[in-house]
Amino acid sequence: MEHIGQIFRPPSEANSLLLQISLGCSHNKCTYCAMYDHPDQKFRIKKWETIAADIAEAAQYSQQVRPIQRVFLCDGDALILPQDFLEKIMRELKEQIPSVRRIGIYGDARSILRKSPEQLATLKKLGLGIVYHGVETGHDKTLLKIQKGSTAAEAVQSAQLLRNAGIRHSVIVMLGIGGKENSLAHAQATAEILTQMDPPFVGALTTTLVPGTPLFEEGENGQFELPDPWDMLEELRIIIRESNLSRCRFHSNHASNYLPLSLNLPTDKEKALMQLDQVLDRRDGEDLKPDFLRGL
Ligand code: SF4
């Protein structure tokens, strides 16, 4: 199995076959992101022969050792690959590894909106079960600043397209990404966009300034100020309180977060708000995950 560079995958794909079909990210401009800054991981699509050989190797494993049920297609925004190429890969997976029940992939508004409803329906038929989408914020001013390459309205449109195709949507938002200056506006706009998107999964991550990224530089020269942990929890409280989700598994238990929560919304809303209120009222550092455990 050929894996070039560092492989990233969502936590829920821990037991999946990680099939690398492209390298890096076609966008690679988000100011906080250092995922694919290694020169080996400059964006490119892998050769069919390499991918086919990896699928053949995985098929053998699946037959002889343990049936593979889930596959995650790497890298960054693999959904941006041409439709016929994605279909070819998924057909091969279906044929060679019939035990596969679900295929997952990273996508964003740019890649989702390039697909027609028919194309998404075909991918769904071929096994695409879930798209992981870093929406980060619903605040357009922040989206522009972090060079996300898409708007809040486009993220909402993406959610609609995926829902219509029957593909699950896992949305990631980032606490603190608006900086101290736009903390409140970011949280309110994020609650608003989540309500409009109404995804079945949401993960809230905490922004960290990674050396080498433009956002880190902005932090160093005073153009960006990261909200403190309490302000980030206040953001989380606003997002949970003001969003209106019909049925959502909501996590804030990423390694980067100060207060891990794992909720079913709306059922656990009041309980979560009470917990956040208590922590925010006490403002006791003992309630927060220490930095050395935050996987920074
Ligand atoms: S789209 Fe994702 S992988 Fe690409 S630069 Fe932005 S955050 Fe990084």
pLDDT tens digit string along 69-106? 999 999 999 999 999 999 999 999 999 999 999 999 99
Global confidence as pTM: 0.95
121 domain residue, yes or no: no
* 153 and 240 share one domain: yes
Q: Report the SS3 class of residue 248.
A: strand
Minimum-distance ligand 1 atom for the alpha carbon of 108 = 1
pLDDT tens digit string along 201-247? 999 999 999 999 999 999 999 999 999 999 999 999 999 999 999 99
Cβ–ligand 1 contact at 69 (below 6 Å): no
Whether residue 92 contacts residue 52, with contact meaning beta carbons closer than 8 Å, is answered with yes
Q: Is 188 left (phi over 0), alpha (psi -120 to 50) or beta?
A: alpha
Q: Which of 147, 140, 146, 220 is nearest to 186 (CA)?
A: 140
| Nearest CA, atom 8, ligand 1 | 33
pLDDT computed for residue 114 by the predictor: 97
Other residues' Cβ atoms within 10 Å of the Cβ of residue 11: 10
Whole-number Å distance, alpha carbon 33 to ligand 1 midpoint, is: 6
Q: Which of 107, 124, 149 is the last residue of a domain?
A: 107
Whether residue 211 contacts residue 296, with contact meaning beta carbons closer than 8 Å, is answered with no
* 218 and 87 share one domain: no
> How many domains are there within the chain?
2
Whole-number Å distance, alpha carbon 148 to ligand 1 midpoint, is: 8
Ligand 1 binding pocket mutation candidate from 23, 29, 74, 172 (most atoms within 8 A of CB): 29
Question: At 260, is the pLDDT very low, low, confident or very high (cuts 50, 70, 90)?
Answer: confident
Range of the domain at 239: 135-296
| Mean pLDDT on 98-118 | 97
| Mean pLDDT on 6-16 | 93
Q: Which of 91, 107, 123 is the last residue of a domain?
A: 107
Whole-number Å distance, alpha carbon 34 to ligand 1 midpoint, is: 8
Tell me the average pLDDT of the chain: 94
Whole-number Å distance, alpha carbon 99 to ligand 1 midpoint, is: 31
| Mean pLDDT on 166-191 | 98
Other residues' Cβ atoms within 10 Å of the Cβ of residue 13: 22
Cβ–ligand 1 contact at 136 (below 6 Å): no
